[in-house]
Structure 1
Amino acid sequence: MTQLPVLVDVADGVARITLNRPDRGNALNQAMADALLEAALRTANDGGVRCVVLTGAGRMFCVGGDVTDFAGNSAGIGAFLQRLAGTLHQAMTVFASMNKPMICLVNGPAAGAGLSMAISGDIVLADPSAHFTAAYLGIGLTPDGGMTWLLPRLVGLRQAQDIILTNRRVEANEAAAIGLVTRVVEENALAREGSELATRLASGAVASMGAARKLLQESFASGLASQMDRELTAIAFAGESAEGREGVRAFLERRPPAFRNDP
């Protein structure tokens, strides 16, 4: 029986996407990239999905690209890498632009494209066993998966230069200290804390979360005045929305808002 390279489970408004090549450290090959893009498109466009969770099967989150495949396609490596990275980039773009939050649960080491995927969530929880390595320059390649965009924004340019150029390993606690991940959870608590967080986000004002994540993405390319213009447009729209009306009504009635029931 063929093992699916990516698993997708949807329940109670939460889509759990699992990289599923544990015997290969969840190394990214073309089949996995294709499946990840399909999963991204499916969950981003499913109105019943209110939160997306990305994690890895087994002891690793993702060790990066499958270098064995690189070697096997050495005659046409440029075209091979362009297709592989291009597919990954499409998936990452869908995740980044969807109107719902994304959580990454880093269950173990993340390297190369695995690092790019691991830090792409709005909230990133890491197991104590997790560690992070850029890895690319160790095999004479350059970063992909959005790493050179994400890293400087999360940890600053100096830290990003150090992590990428020296190829050093960042342990879980340091990753939390420098802002690479949101926090490190206690041992054996990742699945439970991730599930609780996903449930909480899925019951929240998801449309407004989607607007907020877009504002955050735009902020580094905006001046203060133009960013406040965007905020003005967004809050006016949110105030007119079913979520905004329910949130205000619930606050005044001193009850929890029922965002899940909004269209």
Structure 2
Amino acid sequence: MTSCDDLSHVRLEGEVLRIAISTANNGTSLDFDGVAQGTAALRGLIAGTVPARSVLLVGEGPNFCAGGNVRAFAQAENRGEYLREIAVSLHEFVRVLAATEVPVVAAVHGWAAGAGMSLVCASDISIGGPSTKLRPAYPSIGYTPDGGMSWSLPRIVGIAKARELLLTDAVIGGDEAVRLGVLSRLVGDDEIQDEALRVARTLAAGPTSSYAGIKRLLAQSGQATLSEQLDAETDSISAAAETPAGREGVDAFVEKRRADFAGL
């Protein structure tokens, strides 16, 4: 894949790969055209054929994503098989999103429920507003989590709080979501999209190899002992020193100029 031009839910904005995971259709439920196109584009990014240096997840309706299309669940001839099929599709998207070494930013306006909340938890940085609301939403229809929420949420808020939020199907306002670490920060409701794009563009102009190393270290830290993590940090920082970005960053500091990480 070398272009996003023929994809309706995915486009390149400079070096930012923008993926629409919902639209105004079907009540801003998770859009599986967006999921499939996003998966293809992320694979291209990983393979080096999509020239993006950050990823931006957005919703194109009144919400970031209101969760799964429950009416479609009800209409399925075999609900179990239908849910298995769409979960497999969503989970492939989450897997490639996690494998992406560039930063992932989410613009979280309105509701992020069910799979929408899972994708917020899967992002590196998430920007919300005072009206942003998150909700697991699974118990309300008698379901269990998907999209990695049972893995990511405990790592963000702790196992006890994750248990409470999931079992009580709690509605989490923007301020509380920031306090818990589910959202990174809040801006005005009408600024969410612009600010998330600004953050994504800023990251796209940064030291991509450094970001990749940071994400790898964070990903492995939960399973590593302190000694193992110190060894990993030693290997990572020594490797970073030999990268073009590492050389440019240090040289710029010594020369008292702004580092130029374009293309590095």
| Range class of TM-score, shorter chain | over 0.9
Deviation string, structure 1 residues 127-176 (Cα, Å, up to 9, x no partner): 22210110111111110101011111111112111110000100111101
Cα distance in 2 for residues equivalent to 1:53 and 1:163: 26
| Counterpart position of 1:141 | 143
Alignment deviations for residues 155-210 of structure 1 (CA, whole Å, 9 cap, x no partner):
11121111100001001111011111101112311122112211211111111101
Q: Which residue does the alignment assign to 1:259? A: 261
Counterpart Cα distance in 1 of 2:256 and 2:175: 39
Please show how residues 1-263 of structure 1 align to structure 2 within 5 Å. Answer: 7-28=9-30, 30-45=32-47, 46=49, 48-73=51-76, 75-262=77-264
| Partner-residue secondary structure (3-state), 1:55 | strand
Structure-2 separation of matches of 1:61 and 1:6: 17
Per-residue deviation, 1:259: 0.9
Letter in 2 for 1:36: G
TM, length-normalised to structure 2 = 0.92
1:247 Cα offset (Å): 0.9
Q: Distance in 1 between matches of 2:104 and 2:243?
A: 22
CA distance in 2, matches of 1:43, 1:26: 26
Contact 1:43 1:49 in 2 (8 A): yes
User: What is the one-letter code of the residue matched to 2:203?
Assistant: L
Q: Does the 8 Å contact 1:13/1:48 carry over to 2? A: yes
Q: 1:119 to 1:141 in 2, by over 3 A?
A: same
Task: Indicate the SS of the match to 1:189.
Answer: helix
Segments ≥4 residues shifted beyond 3 Å: 29-33, 42-47
Query: Hey, what's the Cα distance between the residues in 1 that align with 2:210 and 2:34?
Result: 31
Shift of 1:33: 3.2
Cα distance between partner residues in 1 of 2:206 and 2:33? 34
Q: Is the 8 A contact 2:9 2:34 kept in 1?
A: no
Change (3 A) 1:95 1:208: same
Number of residue-to-residue matches in the alignment: 258
The sequence identity of aligned pairs, in percent, is: 34
Deviation at 1:80, TM superposition (A): 1.6
With the length of structure 1 as denominator, give the TM-score of the two structures. Answer: 0.92
Q: Distance in 1 between matches of 2:200 and 2:66?
A: 25
* Other structure's SS at 2:17 match: strand
Could you list the runs of 5+ residues in structure 1 that have no partner in the other structure? none
Worse overlay, 40-49 or 52-61? 40-49
Structure 1 CA distance for aligned equivalents of residues 153 and 250 of structure 2 = 37
**SS of the residue 1:15 aligns to:** strand
> Contact 1:61 / 1:106 at 8 angstroms: preserved in 2?
yes
Local SS of the residue matching 1:104? strand
The alpha carbon displacement at 1:47 in A equals 5.4
What is the RMSD computed on CA atoms of the aligned residues?
1.8
Does 167-176 or 31-40 show the bigger shift?
31-40
